[in-house]
Amino acid sequence: MTAVGIDAIEIWTGNLKLDLPGTFAPEKGEDPEKYTKGLGLNASSFPDSYEDIVTMGANAAHRLMERKGLEPDDIGRIDVATESSFDNSKPVSTYVAGCLEQVFDGDFHHANKGERKFACIAGTQSLDDAYNWIRAGRNRGRSALVIATDTALYARGDAGEATQGAGAVAMLISEEPDLVELSTEQGYGSADETDFLKPNQQFPSVDGKRSVQVYLARMREALEDYESVAGDVHPEDIAYIPFHTPFPGMVRKAGLLGYRHITRDTSIEDELADEIGRQPRREAFDDEAAFRDAVREYMDSLKETERYREWYDATIDPTLSISREVGNWYTGSVHVARASALKTALEQGRDLTGKTMIVGSYGSGAQAEIHAETVGDGWEAEIEALSVDDQLDARYDLSWEDYEKVHDVHNHEMDVDVEEFTAPDSEFVFDGWGRMGERQYRYVE
Ligand code: CAA
């Protein structure tokens, strides 16, 4: 079977930055360590007044296509995953294609376009759609462009305000991919939940504490479902486990789940048995509540062991390096986590070719998906080509007053005109409204 997966990625961060311990925490009267240690965040990326989900998505896609030497004719499908859409009918992918047609010869009239929605998991669902389209043999030799783009803004004063972010990830899905091959096995955990939603409103209604519990419950189910189809998983083959990362503190909790499920029945458990006993098994308990209590107790002891901390530092922590500096990118977040892991491996000179990553995606509402990926032999060149560090360094550092202004600019209910904090350079910008209320864009050289 021909390998299908992600051939290349590009990341585009919002051009502004909000320093959480330095600017946000003092303004909120909070201890900066709540951000750096509790939530695990140093900063959030923010969109400048001329940026939105279309400009960030189109900029990431433009850079990706240029770097890979692609023309519109090479792309048979453009899917945008977002939970920040501004149009209930016309998909964001048509706006993105319109932008790209300004800078490439040719157009995308032949390409199937769509928009995927299921909160943050929609980016991975779009990846799955592209995979299935190629596997079904409908791609006629073309690749798919999957773009996960969001402005993750919360109402001012909402607890979620601490975990905001803005950015896009563009992914090229092809046969014989350089970066990672996707496996066919998937595990799901899905239920009708009310943890985070936007019923015809721009800023989310969130039950923050509950959303954390729902994330963990669905992720556990997805891991169990994955185990039932994947058979024996050998932890020594697992290089990284990138999870959806609304904030790194969330992944600290998910890491325990990953450990329990991925390292099951292995030497690691044997090593730990003398120290903290064996992982509880469902069949040894009469009722579910007693089993869950035993699991919780095991997890609490596990967290304190050196063996677990070593495993966490090697397998999970490297997935968080970019997220710490940018906050939540919703649909792009798990794809940023994958990129962080690969980038760390490159910096450490690790040979990852042929290694496995277990990817844990989550979307509120709620659904989790687990799948495996095998790192391809062109991964180093692809990751080396990313300019994410330069982009992060170039962001304009917002003062509190700047932050309030730019938040208002992006609030659809307010009509405020604010200066740009940065000068656009070789990128798409929002250029006002058209006669039917559509958003318009232009490329700035
Ligand atoms: N030093 C060290 N740690 C500190 C601290 C300090 N001075 N002060 C607080 N902390 C720790 C807390 O103990 C807590 O850690 P634990 O959960 O491990 O105990 C952490 O910092 C956060 O503190 P609080 O719980 O007090 O923070 P909060 O009340 O402001 O709410 C939140 C946190 C619920 C995550 C809120 O930011 C929120 O609502 N975020 C949006 C929703 C969200 O991201 N949910 C995640 C799951 S849903 C999802 O994943 C979908 C999605 O993308 C939104």
d(CA 420, CA 346): 35
Reading phi first (left if > 0) and then psi (alpha if -120 to 50, else beta), residue 69 is in left
Give the mutation target among 211, 252, 320, 323 for probing the ligand 1 site: most ligand atoms within 8 A of CB: 211
Tokens of residue 91, six digits: 């998909």
* 181-195, 198-212, 300-314: the lowest-pLDDT one: 300-314
d(CA 315, CA 268): 14
Q: Residues with catalytic annotation? A: 83, 120, 244
pLDDT band at 267 (very low <50, low <70, confident <90, very high): low
d(CA 12, CA 61): 9
Here the ipTM equals 0.98
Asked if 169 and 147 count as a contact pair (C-beta separation under 8 A), the reply is yes
Q: Which residue, judged by its Cα, is nearest atom 3 of ligand 1?
A: 38
* Average pLDDT of the residues in 7-30: 98
* Average pLDDT of the residues in 184-210: 95
Question: Residue 213: CB within 6 Å of ligand 1?
Answer: no
Percent of the chain with pLDDT over 70: 98
**Cα-only R_g, the chain:** 21
Burial of residue 333 (CB within 10 Å: 0-12, 13-18, 19+) is buried
Q: Which CATH superfamily is domain 4-444 in?
A: Thiolase/Chalcone synthase (3.40.47.10)
d(CA 358, CA 226): 10
Of ligand 1's listed atoms, the one at least distance from the Cα of 252 is 18
Residue pLDDT, tens place only, 332-362: 999 999 999 999 999 999 999 999 999 999 9
CA of 35 to the centre of ligand 1 (A): 9
Asked if 211 and 364 count as a contact pair (C-beta separation under 8 A), the reply is yes
Q: Which residue, judged by its Cα, is nearest atom 41 of ligand 1?
A: 160
Question: Over 60: is that where the pLDDT of 157 sits?
Answer: yes
- The residue with tokens 């790194």 is 248
Alpha helices in 277-424 (DSSP H): 288-303, 306-315, 323-326, 333-347, 379-384, 388-394, 400-409
With H, G, I as helix, E, B as strand and everything else as coil, classify residue 402: helix
**Containing H/E element for 212?**
helix 208-230
d(CA 3, CA 179): 11
Percent of the chain with pLDDT over 90: 82
> How does 275-286 read in b/e, with b if 16+ C-beta sit within 10 Å?
ebeebbeeeeee
d(CA 380, CA 343): 9
Residue pLDDT, tens place only, 140-149: 999 999 999 9
Averaged pLDDT of the chain: 94
CA of 40 to the centre of ligand 1 (A): 9
Domain segments of the chain as ranges: 4-444
CA of 162 to the centre of ligand 1 (A): 8
* Average pLDDT of the residues in 264-281: 72
